[in-house]
Amino acid sequence: MARYIARRLLWTVVLMFAVSVVTFVIFYVLPSADPAALRAGRHASPQQIEEIRHKYHLDKSLLDQLSFYFKGILLHGDFGISYVNDQPVAKLVFSRLPATISVAVGAAVLWLLSGVAIGIISAVRRHSKLDRTTMSLALVGISAPVYWLGLVALYLFADDIGLIPLFGGSGSYQPITEDPLAWLNSMILPWVVLAVAFAAFYSRLLRGTLIEVMGEDYIRTARAKGLPERTVVMHHGVRAAITPIVTAFGLDLGALLGGAVLVEIVFNIPGIGRLAYDAILHSDLFLIQGTVLLAAFFVIGANLVVDVVYAYLDPRVRYE
């Protein structure tokens, strides 16, 4: 197992290298504004622009620029400078990370708990009114776009523009370290909006798997042993049906930690998603690179964690 993890970690480095090369190439192939001109700002003379072009190696070939970039990372831990903010990319990204973690982790807890609970109840009471109602609502939840749901939530419940002002609205984000209560108040709507689609998907996924598992021979054995039905469902059924949920949860959370773009924009939360969005708008190459690398890191990391957890959950799975 340890050797397996070591090999996977090595692959992580290779993959992240490949990801940043691809991002670099895409940036140069696709049309965008001249980065040097952007960096120089308005009313810069052509001479200033040329100086900047030289200073940031923008006059060099693509290959040279790449090698400067990776040398910076490997030798100095330097992920480059944001042209627009004039700040180191690493610093910018880390300053935005807490907001994204707040959004993603809070929503994840919410959707995991509600999705699993609804999934179990629907599976156990299959074809009941409750099952039909929750599954229809889940279909709506999966189909509703997050940005639309976000706007509806703001329109209904935001404390500035809402019909029933209950929770913090767009732009009310406060870091948890400064004012925990204000932080919680500002997070509730984003959490709920982000969690709806995931909860809907998870409940349908778990319902389907659990119904299948409850028809397995080992469930019949558990009943024949004289176990209470509750134990049969929770200890034998859910235990076996939960594995696809674990996979989905790891990957979804990993992807969101790389930036919950839509929710961060609708609710104006200063997280990685907003940062990446702004970086793309401004053709801010190194900042784009930084956010892409971070997202890649979380996705690849989540995959590794899921695989390791899977081996723990299912004793038949063994890696070498």
Partner 1 sequence: MSTPLLQVENLSVSFNTEDGVVKAVDGVSWSIEAGQSLGIVGESGSGKTVGGLTLLGLTRSGRTTVSGRAMFEGSDLVSMGDASLRAVRGKGIAMIFQDPLSSLHPFYRVGDQIIEAIQAHSQTPKKVARARAAELLALVGIPDPKARLDAYPHEFSGGMRQRAMIAMALSNEPRLLIADEPTTALDVTVQAQILELLDRLRRELQMALVIITHDLGVVAETAEQVAVMYAGRIVEQSPVNELFSQPMHPYTWGLLRSIPKLTGPRDEALLPIPGRPPSLISRPKGCAFAERCAYAEDACRLTDPLLATTADGRRSACLIPHERRMAAWPALAAGGTEADALKVVRGTK
143, 152 Cβ separation under 8 angstroms = no
243, 204 Cβ separation under 8 angstroms = no
The DSSP result for 206-222, as a single string, is HHHHHHHHTTSHHHHHH
SS3 72: helix
Q: How far is CA 190 from CA 106, 115, 157, 185, 265, in A?
A: 9, 17, 11, 10, 10
Q: Which is nearer to partner 1, 71 or 220 (CB)?
A: 220
Q: Which is nearer to partner 1, 179 or 229 (CB)?
A: 229
For 110, the token pair is 């919410």
286, 83 Cβ separation under 8 angstroms = yes
Considering the complex, what minimum distance in angstroms separates the CB of residue 122 from partner 1?
17
SS3 277: helix
SS3 157: helix
Tokens 């308005």, residue located: 42
Q: Which is nearer to partner 1, 50 or 216 (CB)?
A: 216
Q: Which is nearer to partner 1, 131 or 216 (CB)?
A: 216
Residue numbers at the binding site for partner 1 (CB under 8 A): 216-218, 220-229, 236, 239-240, 313-316
Tokens 């594995």, residue located: 243
SS3 301: helix
Cβ neighbors of 62 (< 8 A, separation 6 or more) are 24, 25, 28
Q: Which is nearer to partner 1, 59 or 229 (CB)?
A: 229
Considering the complex, what minimum distance in angstroms separates the CB of residue 222 from partner 1?
7
Q: How far is CA 44 from CA 35, 283, 286, in A?
A: 13, 18, 21
Length of the chain: 320
Q: Which is nearer to partner 1, 119 or 237 (CB)?
A: 237
Q: Which is nearer to partner 1, 55 or 239 (CB)?
A: 239
Considering the complex, what minimum distance in angstroms separates the CB of residue 228 from partner 1?
7
